[in-house]
A and B are shown apart, each in its own frame.
Chain A
Amino acid sequence: GAVVSQHPSRVICKSGTSVKIECRSLDFQATTMFWYRQFPKQSLMLMATSNEGSKATYEQGVEKDKFLINHASLTLSTLTVTSAHPEDSSFYICSAWDRRSGELFFGEGSRLTVL
Chain B
Amino acid sequence: GESVGLHLPTLSVQEGDNSIINCAYSNSASDYFIWYKQESGKGPQFIIDIRSNMDKRQGQRVTVLLNKTVKHLSLQIAATQPGDSAVYFCAETSYSSYKLIFGSGTRLLVRP
Question: Residues of A at under 8 Å CB distance from B?
Answer: 6, 32, 34, 36-37, 41-47, 49, 59-62, 91, 93, 95, 97, 103-104, 106-109, 111
Contact = CB atoms under 8 A, between A and B. Distances in A.
Contacts, number: 67
Contacts of B102: 36, 43-46
B30 interface: no
A62 B1 CA distance: 6
A46 B41 contact: no
Contact of B105 (A36, A43, A46, A107): A43
Interface string B52-76: 0000000000000000000000000
A106 B8 contact: no
A104 to B, nearest CB: 6
* Overall SS of chain B's interface: loop
Nearest to B44: A106
Contacts of A91: 41
B8 A41 contact: yes
A57 B13 CA distance: 41
* Overall SS of chain A's interface: strand
B41 A111 contact: yes
B2 A45 contact: yes
Interface residues of B, number: 24
Contacts of B104: 42-43
Contacts of A93: 43-44
Interface stretch (B14-22, B78-86, B93-101): B93-101
Interface string B6-45: 1010000000000000000000000000101000011111
A32 B93 CA distance: 14
Contact of B43 (A42, A59, A109): A109
A95 B1 contact: no
B30 to A, nearest CB: 14
Given A37-B1, A62-B1, A44 B44 contact: yes
28 contacts: A6-B43, A36-B1, A36-B102, A37-B1, A42-B3, A42-B6, A42-B8, A42-B104, A42-B105, A43-B3, A43-B5, A43-B6, A43-B89, A43-B105, A44-B89, A46-B99, A46-B100, A59-B1, A59-B2, A60-B1, A60-B2, A93-B43, A93-B44, A95-B100, A104-B34, A104-B46, A106-B43, A109-B43
